[in-house]
Amino acid sequence: MTASRESGTLGTYQRYKLGQAQFQKWLKQTSDRLRTGPAGLEKPVPQKGSSSTVKGSQFGQDSQAASAVHWSQLESMTSIIVDNLDPEQIPRSAINILRDVVQLRKKSARFFSSAAAKSDNDTLKEKNSTHEHIIKVLEKILHQFEAALSKVRPSVSSTSTSEDGQLGMNDINNMFEYLKLEESYDGENGEPDEVFDIEAAALKRSKKPQKKGGKKQKLKKPPKGQHVQKRTTKSQGASWVDTFRWMDNEVDEDGEDDLDYYMIIYCFFQDFNSIRTYVGDRWTEYFYHKSVSLNTLAVLTNAASEIFHEMEYELEKTLEDMPRLAEYDFMLDMLFFNYGLEHVDYSGEDQLTDTERKYKILEEADWLGFPAYSQVLQLLDAIPPRKVPLFPVSTTKHPNYGVHDFDGFQQFTRDVISELAIECCHTKAMKTNGELAMIAIAQDELTLDFEDILRTRDYSSAIIFDLSLYTDVRYILEGQVIDAFDLLRATGASMKATLEEQLPNIRGPWDLKKECRERLVEIETYILKDFLEGDKARRFEEKGIKEPFERNILLKSDPVWSGLLDFRCRLILNNLGYRFITESPVVFGAAFIYMASRLDAVSGFHWLQMDRFLRIHGEDKILQGSIHPNLTPVDLIKRFVNSDLFGTDSPIKDYLTPSRSLEALYKRYAKEHGYSRQPLAYLREIIRESLEHQVSILSSDADGEKNLLDTGNTFMKRTSFNPAIVQNAQREACQPASVSPVRLLEILDKATTSLLEDQLSIDYFKLHKESVQLLRELLIEFSSEVEKDAPSLFDKDIRIGKLCLLLPVIYRSMIDGSVTEITRRLGKVVTGVCSRL
């Protein structure tokens, strides 16, 4: 199992374990190098009440000596570093990691200790004492480092480095690269020190969590696993995060580790709520300011649903020896009834009024997704298998928007989920009858999940999370939930008009014209009409219901699917237009004429679509060279005449390569997928492209290592950096497999917004139409020259692409006549056309 998911993310618990491994590796590696004697530290006697070894849920084993690392040994290692190393050589990232690890352990231990205090189990109390001792040791180490750093960095913070208190990937990446550079440095002076294999620090799988209060059945313990001997390896290349195993197959020989189970499950829900908060905030920005595109919001929300499924899959793999622990019901019971939640203050509950207590319970339950969960159970009881509820207009109930009290919010949750459930009954039935593809066009994960609930009569954590997020969105948008559907209708009508207008002009590849016709049918069926209307009408007629039903409820109530359909329209129209203009050099020819006329223009004039086209695809690329002050109109047009843009082997498509993000989103939302859901690899492509510019910046920066490592000038002076090593480290620091789920959504948010504002903002069909208009008016202006040099351009049935043969005529006129006069005539025509656009 890899550390990074298919989407390229690491969850909170994974980052926590990976951070621990990196800190310990640095601690041992550095202390070993600073030892004065050849012999290692003597093995100290473990303190009473503490674990004698560092378990998988704590720090890893010393793979070099094949023996355990003691907590007191970690203190000794820290003392060696603090006493012998210049504070400026202590990387800040290591201390940030340790600080966040301590805080996360303290959060989890708080409720573990509460369970131990109320239990009569001596083993549980002893383990709780061990956990408390571990935290004290880590805190002591942290204080030692902070005291040392305060001598040169007075502003050292004692708080978490991340806003949400979760371990960030920047510090982990920095420490990994620091360790690699340290190994390289040591290797220059002899054999490099043996270091921990990152896998050796991975979590060992334990057994059941401690039951509290006897509310749940005991779980059967899995058999003890065979001891797996660890091996020692050095860090290997750029695939470090892809080969890191954050859960080991070895069973902890000394028994259970309930604290880790609580941490795993709590972090699972913490990641869910971090994603939920980010997505909810973006929808709120739309509600109040309209500052976020509905397309972007739809893509973000659907990606969040995909990440929920990935999170659940990772959790199930992690707890595959105890699958019951990964079930939503069990986790809900564990956190809601047994242990409690870290962020909820349970003190003084006796002083709360009934209303205050209700709201507090609701807040805690909502954090776990309980309202959506309870509604799913009610729906499964209310809707029999293979049945489709029918509701005429008079009985259709819409959610009541506004601020709700405790009971009002529960009713609101029931209404919005029930409204969606009824529509999903129809889509499921149509798919069963073969009337709708199993994965409908641009269908969102939420409705697919709801169909699975109705089909399997079961649910998963991811589906509960989906519905919780959907309820949030509906609560935020209120009556504006229909905005996405209205936008979709407008986009669909505009796209239909464009394709119908351009269809006669498409004489290129047969597949382009065929696809245009198919897209017209798609728009009519799924966007301009209610694609569920036929199924509903038939069922109403069979039941003898004469009253009409409300149309388009599904897309009106699901802004994500409506937004994805609208985004799909934009992707498809952009792709069709792009393919259309690359079939001839018309747009390129118009670009050369436009820029040539602007070189000597006294008064500025602008061509919006062409300016956007040149900016996004690059003037240097389109015009096959830079626009410098000494460039003349003759020189520029000569470039086009001498180019290879004519003929069947024209490299036009090479000049208009779409970005990888655009290609990834096109494959995800504009392609038909039939029966299978799409993998999340498209997200990794978007992350990779968005971070590539950082690589170029770091690689070209002579002091790039200062951006990568926070190690101080002394370290820089004593280390002989190999530029290739530094450059490689800089590239690996930008590995896309090392982002948190929220960071992934931030990148996706920015990438989607950028595409909508840039590449998807080009109307290629309109640009082509305007380019043809310009060339035809130039043909009239230079009719006498054309009559002498290329009379075939006046043929009635001439292919539009041949209009670019006008440019060689204009170029020869410049060479043979007055350049100034020809340029003036060019400017006159271009100015006139631009003024009418």
pLDDT of amino acid 123: 72
Residue 438 placed within a domain: no
Local confidence band at 258 (pLDDT 50, 70, 90 cut-offs): low
**Terminal-residue alpha carbon distance, the chain:** 57
pLDDT of amino acid 87: 82
Name, in order, each residue with C-beta under 8 angstroms of 117's C-beta and a sequence gap of 6 or more: none
Lowest mean pLDDT among 150-154, 315-319, 429-433, 666-670: 150-154
Residue 440 placed within a domain: no
Alpha-carbon gap, residue 680 to 669, rounded angstroms: 12
Residue 260 placed within a domain: no
Query: Quick one: 541 and 599 in the same domain?
Result: no
pLDDT for residue 655 is more than 80: no
Paired with 67 in beta bridges are 62
Concatenate the DSSP letters of all residues of 733-799 into one string.
Answer: HT-TT-B-HHHHHHHHHHHHHHHHHTGGG--HHHHHHHHHHHHHHHHHHTHHHHHHH-GGGG-TT--
Query: Quick one: 791 and 813 in the same domain?
Result: yes
Residue 203 placed within a domain: no
pLDDT of amino acid 38: 44
Q: What angle do CA 200, 203, 206 make, to 5 degrees?
A: 130
Q: Of 59, 75, 67, which is closest to residue 25 (Cα–Cα)?
A: 59
Please state the rounded mean pLDDT for residues 196-220.
35
Q: Are 367 and 458 in contact (CB under 8 A)?
A: no
Q: Which residue has the tokens 């959907």?
A: 470
pLDDT of amino acid 115: 62
pLDDT for residue 324 is more than 60: yes
CA 425 to chain centre: 30
Alpha-carbon gap, residue 269 to 332, rounded angstroms: 10
pLDDT of amino acid 673: 77
Domain enclosing residue 73, as ranges: 1-193
pLDDT of amino acid 31: 84
pLDDT of amino acid 579: 93
Tell me which of 168, 193, 218 is where a domain ends: 193
Alpha-carbon gap, residue 370 to 617, rounded angstroms: 49
Please state the rounded mean pLDDT for residues 598-613.
84
Please state the rounded mean pLDDT for residues 437-460.
95
Query: Quick one: 566 and 590 in the same domain?
Result: no
Please state the rounded mean pLDDT for residues 134-149.
86
Alpha-carbon gap, residue 192 to 183, rounded angstroms: 6
Lowest mean pLDDT among 70-74, 285-289, 523-527: 70-74
Q: Indicate if the alpha-carbon torsion angle 802, 808, 813, 816 is positive or negative.
A: negative
Name, in order, each residue with C-beta under 8 angstroms of 255's C-beta and a sequence gap of 6 or more: 123, 127, 206, 207
Burial of 284 (0-12, 13-18, 19+ CB in 10 A): middle
Alpha-carbon gap, residue 267 to 247, rounded angstroms: 15
Cβ–Cβ contacts within 10 Å for residue 451, how many? 20
Q: Using the 8-state DSSP alphabet, how is residue 246 labeled?
A: S
Please state the rounded mean pLDDT for residues 30-58.
50
Q: Which tokens hold the place of 696?
A: 């170029």
Q: Are 492 and 400 in contact (CB under 8 A)?
A: no
Residue predicted with more confidence, 495 or 217: 495
pLDDT for residue 142 is more than 70: yes
Query: Quick one: 575 and 602 in the same domain?
Result: no
Residue 689 placed within a domain: no
Query: Quick one: 509 and 612 in the same domain?
Result: no
Residue 410 placed within a domain: no
Residue 675 placed within a domain: no
Please state the rounded mean pLDDT for residues 36-61.
42
Number of separate domains in the chain = 3
Q: Indicate if the alpha-carbon torsion angle 430, 433, 438, 442 is positive or negative.
A: negative
CA distance to 504, 579, 654, per residue, from 513 (Å): 9, 11, 22
Query: Quick one: 609 and 641 in the same domain?
Result: yes
Local confidence band at 718 (pLDDT 50, 70, 90 cut-offs): very low
Q: Are 438 and 307 in contact (CB under 8 A)?
A: no
Name, in order, each residue with C-beta under 8 angstroms of 6's C-beta and a sequence gap of 6 or more: 310, 679, 680, 681, 683, 684
Query: Quick one: 787 and 651 in the same domain?
Result: yes
CA distance to 41, 463, 474, 708, per residue, from 92 (Å): 26, 40, 43, 11
Q: Which tokens hold the place of 587?
A: 């747009």
Query: Quick one: 122 and 85 in the same domain?
Result: yes
pLDDT of amino acid 644: 76
Lowest mean pLDDT among 209-223, 270-284, 684-698, 729-743: 209-223
Lowest mean pLDDT among 338-352, 400-414, 797-811: 338-352
Query: Quick one: 773 and 830 in the same domain?
Result: yes
pLDDT of amino acid 64: 38
Concatenate the DSSP letters of all residues of 53-108 into one string.
Answer: S--TTSS--BTTTTBPPPHHHHHHHHHHHHHHS-GGGS-HHHHHHHHHHHHHHHHH
Query: Quick one: 624 and 557 in the same domain?
Result: no
pLDDT of amino acid 227: 35
Lowest mean pLDDT among 137-151, 166-180, 248-262: 248-262
Residue 266 placed within a domain: no
Q: What amino acid occupies position 338?
A: N
Query: Quick one: 96 and 37 in the same domain?
Result: yes
Residue predicted with more confidence, 366 or 687: 366
Q: Which tokens hold the place of 626?
A: 């830079």
Q: Using the 8-state DSSP alphabet, how is residue 527 labeled?
A: I
Concatenate the DSSP letters of all residues of 416-462 into one string.
Answer: HHHHHHHHHHHHHHHHHTTSS-SS-TT--HHHHHHHHHHHHS---HH
Query: Quick one: 538 and 627 in the same domain?
Result: no
Predicted TM-score (pTM) of the model is: 0.79
pLDDT for residue 274 is more than 90: yes
pLDDT of amino acid 693: 56
Q: What amino acid occupies position 123?
A: T
Tell me which of 579, 612, 643 is where a domain ends: 579
Q: Are 557 and 419 in contact (CB under 8 A)?
A: yes
pLDDT of amino acid 259: 63
Tell me which of 193, 224, 244 is where a domain ends: 193
Alpha-carbon gap, residue 285 to 644, rounded angstroms: 49
Local confidence band at 691 (pLDDT 50, 70, 90 cut-offs): confident
pLDDT of amino acid 65: 38
Lowest mean pLDDT among 257-266, 393-402, 677-686: 257-266
3-state class of 498 per DSSP? helix
Lowest mean pLDDT among 128-137, 254-263, 746-755: 254-263
pLDDT for residue 726 is more than 60: no
Alpha-carbon gap, residue 93 to 176, rounded angstroms: 10
Local confidence band at 118 (pLDDT 50, 70, 90 cut-offs): low
Local confidence band at 71 (pLDDT 50, 70, 90 cut-offs): low
Alpha-carbon gap, residue 112 to 600, rounded angstroms: 77
pLDDT for residue 303 is more than 90: yes
3-state secondary structure 642-692: HCCCCCCCCCHHHHCCCCHHHHHHHHHHCCCCCCCCCCCHHHHHHHHHHHH
Local confidence band at 773 (pLDDT 50, 70, 90 cut-offs): very high
pLDDT of amino acid 226: 37
3-state secondary structure 256-323: CCHHHHHHHHHHHHHHHHHHHHHHHHHHHHHHHHCCCCHHHHHHHHHHHHHHHHHHHHHHHHHCCCCH
Look at the chain and count its residues. Answer: 837
Alpha-carbon gap, residue 346 to 120, rounded angstroms: 22
Local confidence band at 182 (pLDDT 50, 70, 90 cut-offs): low
The whole-chain average pLDDT of the chain stands at 78
Residue predicted with more confidence, 55 or 101: 101
